[in-house]
Amino acid sequence: MTETSPHTDPTPDPPHPYTPAAIARLMLSEAHRDAAETALNRIGTEGDSSDTIAPGDFVREAAELIRLAEAAQRRAVIYERERGTSWEEIGEALGISRQSAHTKFAEYVKAWREPLDKPERLHPDGTPDDRRIPYGARYAPGSAAPANGSAEKTARLLDHWLRRHDGWADQEHPVSGGLPRHSTIEMVLIVGRAADRMRRDQLVPDLQAEADLWDLSADLQERMLRESERGGDPLPQGFHQSLASDRARAKALRAAPDYGSVAWDEVLNARHAARTATQTEGAE
């Protein structure tokens, strides 16, 4: 009988969400797919004499292809900016000046970044939730079971589409395989920012939801510990203190009464108790 190591994790951790750069690349792949499908549909000539083809249809379809190519170009610029490409470098690639490139595309880049930087809402894992994010690029918390319209589903569909074409059939993940995901430590930071935003924005305090975020932060730090034991990056200084503090804060918040008729001073007392518990855990 094979013994299981005490550090063996029988259930693999689910993948983290894609980074903003990854979903920008995903949207670029989708734009190329749309343009390619439109072009492929008009390569054949068998239907040219059909009564269903009206005068000007081929010109209209070519114009549609140009529109799709321009959409792909805009998404390419967005992705280049996510990669850190300067406006000067983008202008050089297009044969125009830096200022001309900025004037032509800056509004599209801003429209892309704004819902990611300042989303209407946040998912429970701290990632942005905003209707302005393109449908196929939206984050879906719990990527082990992706939601419809999520970036995960879009990546799977593009994988399937590309595998049906020559040159890609032998690759299982020709699109999703190259998309970067957030690291665990990045997710810890994202969850921490979400907790700070919750405290700032809530008109009606939800201490249980705050506790959920601090427990999630502790869960992620425990994942960092597992990854480190498997040969991953070394743990940052003060790691164990931070983990214990987040668990203590969540426990203290859960012990507070449900908000409803609870006065603000009781809410503040609960948060003070959470901070005190955090400091106590850190000192032990």
**pTM score of the predicted model:** 0.82
Could you tell me where the DSSP H helices lie in 9-97?
A: 20-40, 57-82, 87-94
Greater model confidence, 100 or 166: 100
Answer yes or no: is pLDDT of 145 > 80: no
- Interval 183-227: pLDDT, tens: 999 999 999 999 889 888 877 678 888 899 999 999 999 999 999
Q: What is d(CA 117, CA 50) in angstroms, rounded to the nearest whole number? A: 51
Answer yes or no: is pLDDT of 270 > 50: yes
CB 38 within 8 A of CB 68: yes
Structure tokens at 188: 């810890």
CB 47 within 8 A of CB 260: no
CB 221 within 8 A of CB 246: yes
Task: Tell me the average pLDDT across 159-177.
Answer: 89
Output the pLDDT for position 252.
83
Angle ∠(226,232,236) on CA atoms, nearest 5:
85
Angle ∠(97,100,105) on CA atoms, nearest 5:
125
- Interval 70-127: pLDDT, tens: 999 999 999 999 999 999 999 999 999 999 999 999 999 999 999 999 999 998 889 9
Structure tokens at 178: 């190259």
Answer yes or no: is pLDDT of 40 > 50: yes
3-state secondary structure of 51: coil
Answer yes or no: is pLDDT of 264 > 50: no
Output the pLDDT for position 54.
86
Tell me which residue of 114, 44, 42, 30 sits closest to 74, measured CA to CA.
30
Structure tokens at 169: 């059939």
Amino acid identity of residue 93, one-letter, is: A
State percent of the chain over pLDDT 70: 82
Output the pLDDT for position 41.
85
Q: What is d(CA 134, CA 132) in angstroms, rounded to the nearest whole number? A: 6
